[in-house]
């Protein structure tokens, strides 16, 4: 016992043994790691997978879900033939996907590129869409973007035109035509009928305005910018001043004008809600793109800009 305990007596030279031993062991481990062969290919399917396709595992869980979805039965009830068919389909799909990567389809096929971009945006937006806005946030959003909730205006307007130098007025100058038009406007405002003006001043219907009511955008399209600008200021029953356009002097008679109106919040809250969420989703997409751009190295050729 005394000899055994004597072994534990402190000896200065022994303090070197253990570090030296550790150094040798460390070197051995490092050497073993350095010269170890590359990881071997898997020759058996690891647990949790149903197949390996070029070393890429297909999850057993996915296989089971696919079988249940395709057959409409529980996995246990699916026949071996059904399972084999589904597995074959999954392996085929994996092979095609791997081939697509080899063929670099993201580089060459627009549809693949588009879907990849959509996939990324969908994932980015997922977290953002989990947030439900409050009433106050919706109202603030509505106040900020009222112009998006404007109901379209409409008008029923007559457009009379006096062609300069036209019928029975071969020597008529523009100034004379304007004078006649001013008189016609005076008569109309005084209560004269349109037929009277057509008959006595040589006006005709321009054919630009529709017979009945039309929405603002359609009226703009038909009347042209210049006449529409005048028409958009007229109220029900008003007659415009003469307007000179490329085909003569026009008079606009507004029968009924419904001006565009901003819809009240309660009337459009569903649209506001959807727009709010779309805006949040778009914002997330832009933020993500901003981050990607900050992390990316993008070089433009001389003279190019984006």
Partner 1 sequence: MSTKWKWALPLCAAVGIGLAILWLIHVRTERLQHRLLAAAPETVAGDPSLLRFASAQARPLYAQHCAVCHGPHLHGNPAIGAPNLSDAVWLYGTGSLYDIERTLLYGIRSGEDQSHNEADMPAFGLRGILTEGQIRSVVQYLLQLNGRPYDVQAANEGRALYAGTGNCADCHGSDARGNNDYGAPDLTRNVWNSGGDPQALYNAIYSGQHRIMPAWRRSLSLEQIRALASYVYAVSHSS
Beta carbon of residue 48, minimum distance to partner 1 (angstroms, whole number): 4
Residue reference for tokens 């042209």: 224
User: x/- contact string, 256-285, with partner 1 (CB under 8 A)?
Assistant: ----------x--xx--x------------
Closest CA to 127 of 294, 289, 285: 285
Q: Does 7 bind partner 1 (CB under 8 A)?
A: yes
The label of the residue with tokens 């089971």 reads: 64
Q: Which is nearer to partner 1, 37 or 266 (CB)?
A: 266
Residue 51 or 218: the one with the smaller Cβ distance to partner 1 is 51
**CB-nearer residue toward partner 1: 215 or 289:** 289
Which residue, 53 or 194, has its beta carbon nearer to partner 1?
53
132 lies in the site for partner 1, by CB under 8 A: yes
111 binds partner 1 (CB under 8 A): no
Interface with partner 1, residue 62, by CB under 8 A:
yes
Q: Which is nearer to partner 1, 29 or 221 (CB)?
A: 29
- Kindly state whether residue 59 participates in binding partner 1, applying the rule CB under 8 A: yes
Work out whether 287 is an interface residue with partner 1 (CB under 8 A).
Answer: no
Which residue, 25 or 101, is less far from partner 1 as judged by CB?
Answer: 25
What is the contact surface with partner 1 in residues (CB under 8 A)? 3-4, 6-8, 11, 14, 46-49, 59, 61-62, 64-65, 119, 122-127, 129-135, 138, 266, 269-270, 273
């Amino acid at each position: 016992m005394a000899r055994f305990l004597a072994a534990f007596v402190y000896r200065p030279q022994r303090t070197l043994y253990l570090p030296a031993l550790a150094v040798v062991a460390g070197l051995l481990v490092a050497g073993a790691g350095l010269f170890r062969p590359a990881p071997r290919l898997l020759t058996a399917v690891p647990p949790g997978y149903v197949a390996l396709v070029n070393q890429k595992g297909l999850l057993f869980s996915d296989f089971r879900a696919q079988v249940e979805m395709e057959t409409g039965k529980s996995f246990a009830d699916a026949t071996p033939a059904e399972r084999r068919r589904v597995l074959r389909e999954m392996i085929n799909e994996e092979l095609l996907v791997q081939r697509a990567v080899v063929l670099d389809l993201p580089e060459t096929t627009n549809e693949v590129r588009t879907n990849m971009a959509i996939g990324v945006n969908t994932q980015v937006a997922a977290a953002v869409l989990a947030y439900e806005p409050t009433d106050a946030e919706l109202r603030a959003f509505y106040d900020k973007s009222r112009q998006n909730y404007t109901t379209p205006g409409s008008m029923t307007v007559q457009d009379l035109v006096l062609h300069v130098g036209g019928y029975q007025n071969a020597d008529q100058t523009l100034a004379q035509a304007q004078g006649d038009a001013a008189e016609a406007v005076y008569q109309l405002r005084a209560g004269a009928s349109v037929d009277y003006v057509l008959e006595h001043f040589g006006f005709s219907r321009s054919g630009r305005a529709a017979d009945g009511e039309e929405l603002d955008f359609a009226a703009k399209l038909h009347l042209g910018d210049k006449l529409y600008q005048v028409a958009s200021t007229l109220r029900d029953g008003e007659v415009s001043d003469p307007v000179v356009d490329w085909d003569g002097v026009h008079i606009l008679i507004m029968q009924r004008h419904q001006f565009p109106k901003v819809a009240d919040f309660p009337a459009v809250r569903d649209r506001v809600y959807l727009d709010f969420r779309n805006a949040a989703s778009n914002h997330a997409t832009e933020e993500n793109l901003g981050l990607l751009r900050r992390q990316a190295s993008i070089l433009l050729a001389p003279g190019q800009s984006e």
